[in-house]
A and B are shown apart, each in its own frame.
Chain A
Amino acid sequence: MATRPRMIRSHRDAMALVRTPTRAVWLGILLVFAFAAPLWMSNGLLFLLLAGLAYIVGAIGLNLVSGYAGQLSLGHAFFLAVGAYTAAVISGPSTQTTFGLGINEILVWLPAAGITAGLAGFLVGPIATRLRGLYLAIVTLGLVLVGDHVLRTWTGLTGGVGFGRQAPDPTLLGLDLSTTGPILGVDVARSALLYWFSLVVVILLTILALNLVRSRTGRAFQAVRDRDVAAEIMGIDLTRTKLIAFTVSSAYAGIAGAMLTMRLETIEATQFNLLLSFLFIAMILIGGIASIPGSIAGALVIAILPDIAGPLGSVLTPVFETLTFWRADAGFPLDEFQLEQLLYGALLIAFVLLEPRGLIGLWVRVRNYWKAFPFSY
């Protein structure tokens, strides 16, 4: 027995999250890298990464309901808004234009954002038990439109279009996480504390999601997605299962909404629109449907896309200037934002056409290739 110390000998080991020492090592390296990021990254990149961390939470949430449970939801932005404004109301002070509770403790408003959004998901969930596929997508689309309208008109909550209200103020047990300057004598990027806190939240929520999907509930999600008649024959209550999926997913979205806005100065009422919902769909499509690591990868790709679009634009400009059919003085015809939108559209199309399993599918292919090397299979 001792000659094969790495052999899996118990069901418990076979079900473990990190099954092999190699994976443990790589995971460790990844974590060290992630925690060390503020020590060498620029403020700008860290700010994007901070959005990336919020995106990860939201993408995991969407993947739970749409990827695992198969309930296509375009309403994700609505639940992000619920979370963001719950956090803002609890953390923000009451002013002449907006109301607030003035409790800026992040350990209060971040869970509260998740709970309120989860509750909203629980209330919306019953719709999903009566509809499926595109019909559900259309109804959840309506949810975003209604939410958008409410946010535009309810100025007491949002501060009104064009003004906005103060974003949630992250204070952890009295320590202001948005402080600047060196920490313990080490010069770090501006939002380092916020980043580390977010990272811990993301790791915790990732573990919770991984536990969920490898459990009774997670298997029920996938059974409902693949064959709902057979799922019922297995004794799975479809209504209950979809309700759980919507509730958990919305709670994740709520936390993501709060995390996404806490790095900003103000929350603008118009940012929780259909485009944001599509952004999350793009994340799980690019990362990998029904995959938690895929959600993480997709969220990070979407988050750093603005940082890719900039340099790409400056590379493309001289190319366009040399083309004679183009007016030489015009330069590159797209600005950075347009280029970013173009990139993200192109990525979506490329992944849906070429690798529907997303980045995770790509990774599996590469891994299998090297496993079998030098043979093709």
Chain B
Amino acid sequence: MAITHPLTAALPSTQEALPDGPVVVADDVTLAFAGVVAVKGVSYEVAPRELFAIVGPNGAGKTSNFNLVSGVYQPTSGSMHVLGHDVTTMKPHEIARTGVARTFQNIELFENLTVVDNLMLGRQQHLHYGAGAAMLRTRRVQQAEVANREVVEAIVDFLDIQSHRDALVGMLPYGVQKRVELGRALAMEPKLLLLDEPVAGMNLEETEDMARFILDIRDELGVTIIMVEHDMGLVMDLADRVLVLDFGEVIANDVPSVVQRDPAVIRAYLGGTDMAELEGTR
């Protein structure tokens, strides 16, 4: 008998049918800051319900890619389609409303607010009342607040952070903050979730917990996930496909077992130019 996760009931729209075709289509995307080209003609597609990983050495353009998908940056050239929308020139909050959520490499939580308030901020686009109604605290506002608080509580339970519920986020340990940030993204009820180094700086136990959360989110909720991560063990275990970037360019895009043995990837990571190439340049 299949066990329904309470989270599936709390976040119904994550399981809605996605538009046909890939969830993300990056077509020849370039991002340049004056002379520095951070992303150079990158093209890739992410299929529905896929756990897609982006890896690469420091400065390869992984986070820049996230910023392009979520609208923090707009591509200098090329186009970006997410969930059937052309997001090339859309603003971050507009992209967020199409069903895209993300976490950040260096935690970007609202430190002066409690865990619950941070998660409630994730519910922002699911609360539809205006400022006037808010001031009068109408019945509709109260009902909306309670209903969304219940969703938040389901996420709190899922991430096992009940004891931190009313704590100010700035006071929490790093590992818990990482979880809260995942929770905040989850509260948005996304169809596409971008995770920027979800296990950076975590010990083995915390990493294993986080891996379990990520798999649950994908398997139970059916959320498509793109993950940037340096922990190769985690990436190779979890990811369906891996995109490898180096100096803003795609050097490999395949299943983990193939990517692991790709000479270009090994060269990018170990810096080893092989002898044949050295001979050639001489």
Residue positions of A touching B, CB distance < 8 A: 10-12, 14-15, 208-209, 211-212, 215-220, 222-223, 226-227, 229-238, 244, 248, 290
B150 touches A220 (CB 8 A): no
Separation in Å of the B72 CB from the closest CB of chain A?
6
Q: Is the interface of A mostly helix, strand, loop or mixed?
A: helix
Say yes or no: is B127 at the interface (Cβ < 8 Å to chain A).
yes
A233 to B110, CA, bound (A): 13
Q: Output the least CB separation between B42 and chain A (Å).
A: 21
Could you list 22 examples of A-B contacts with CB < 8 Å? A10-B146, A11-B145, A11-B149, A11-B150, A15-B149, A211-B136, A211-B137, A216-B134, A217-B131, A219-B113, A220-B121, A222-B113, A226-B110, A226-B113, A227-B109, A229-B72, A230-B108, A233-B102, A236-B121, A236-B124, A244-B131, A290-B112
Q: Report the Cα distance A212→B117, complex, angstroms.
A: 14
- Cβ-defined partner of B125 (8 Å) among A12, A227, A235: A235
Interface membership of B44, Cβ < 8 A: no
Cβ of B142 < 8 Å from any Cβ of A? yes
Question: 1/0 contact trace for B79-119 toward A, CB 8 Å?
Answer: 00000000000011100110001101000111111000100
The distance from the CB of B120 to the nearest CB of chain A, in whole angstroms, is: 6
Asked whether B110 lies within 8 Å of A208 as measured between CB atoms, the reply is no
| The one of A14, A215, A238 that contacts B134, using a Cβ cutoff of 8 Å | A215
A233 contacts across to B, CB distance below 8 A: 70, 72, 92-93, 96, 101-102, 108
Q: Which 6 A-B pairs have the closest CB atoms?
A: A215-B134, A235-B96, A232-B92, A230-B108, A235-B125, A216-B127
Most A-side CB within 10 Å, residue of B111, B122, B135: B135
A368 to chain B, nearest CB (A): 14
Quick check: A236 and B93 within 8 Å, CB to CB? yes
Question: Does A226 lie within 8 Å of B72, measured CB to CB?
Answer: no
**14 additional contacts (CB under 8 A) given A226-B110, A232-B92:** A211-B136, A215-B134, A215-B145, A219-B124, A222-B113, A223-B121, A227-B110, A229-B72, A232-B71, A232-B72, A233-B108, A236-B93, A236-B124, A290-B112
| B120 surroundings in chain A (CB, below 8 A) | 219
In the docked arrangement, what's the CA distance between A290 and B102, Å? 27
Q: How far is the CA of A10 from the CA of B129 in the complex (A)?
A: 22
User: Nearest A residue to B112 by beta-carbon distance?
Assistant: A226
The yes or no answer to B188 lying at the interface (CB within 8 A) is yes
Whole-angstrom CA separation of A244 from B97 in the bound complex: 20
Interface bits B55-89 vs A (CB < 8 Å: 1, else 0): 00000000000000011100000000000000000
Shortest Cβ distance from residue A236 to the other chain B in the assembled complex, whole angstroms = 6
Q: B142 to A212, Cβ gap below 8 A?
A: no
Q: Which chain B residue has the least Cβ–Cβ distance from A227? A: B108
Among B96, B121, B149, the most chain A Cβ lie within 10 Å of the Cβ of B121
> What's the minimum C-beta distance from B105 to chain A, rounded to whole angstroms?
12
Check A234–B124 contact: CB distance below 8 A.
yes
A64 CB, nearest partner CB in chain B, Å:
11
Collect the chain A residues with CB atoms within 8 Å of residue B137's CB: 211, 215
Chain B positions 228-243 with a Cβ under 8 Å from a chain A Cβ: none
Q: Min CB distance, B108 to chain A, in Å?
A: 4
* Nearest-CB residue, chain B, relative to A220: B124
Q: Which of A14, A215, A238 is most buried by chain B, counting CB atoms within 10 A of its CB?
A: A215
Q: Are A234 and B149 in contact (CB under 8 A)?
A: no
Q: Which residues of A contact B93 (CB under 8 A)?
A: 232-238
Tell me the minimal C-beta distance from B144 to chain A in angstroms: 8
B251 at the interface (CB under 8 A from A): no
**Of the candidates A208, A220, A236, A238, which one forms a contact with B136 in the assembled complex, judged by CB atoms under 8 Å apart?**
A208
- A212 to B138 alpha-carbon distance, docked (Å): 11
Q: With the chains together, A232 CA to B134 CA distance in Å?
A: 21
Minimum CB–CB distance from B63 to chain A (whole Å) comes to 12
| Chain B residues within an 8 Å CB radius of A248 | 131, 135
From the candidates A14, A219, A290, name the one contacting B121 in the complex (CB within 8 A): A219
B215 at the interface (CB under 8 A from A): no
Residue of B nearest to A205 (CB): B135
User: How near does chain B come to A176, taking the closest CB pair, in angstroms?
Assistant: 30
**B141 interfacial by beta-carbon distance below 8 Å:** yes
Contact check, B109 vs A234: say whether CB atoms are below 8 A apart: no
Q: Is A235 a contact of B188 with CB atoms below 8 Å?
A: yes
Determine the distance from Cα of A377 to Cα of B83 in the docked complex, in whole angstroms: 51
Alpha-carbon separation in the docked complex, A218 to B131 (Å): 9
For A290, the chain B residues whose CB sits under 8 A away are: 112
B134 touches A235 (CB 8 A): no
B134 touches A212 (CB 8 A): yes
A56, B84: Cα distance in complex, Å: 50
Please, how many angstroms separate the alpha-carbon atoms of A227 and B134 in the complex?
Answer: 23
Residues of A within 8 A of B141 (CB): 215
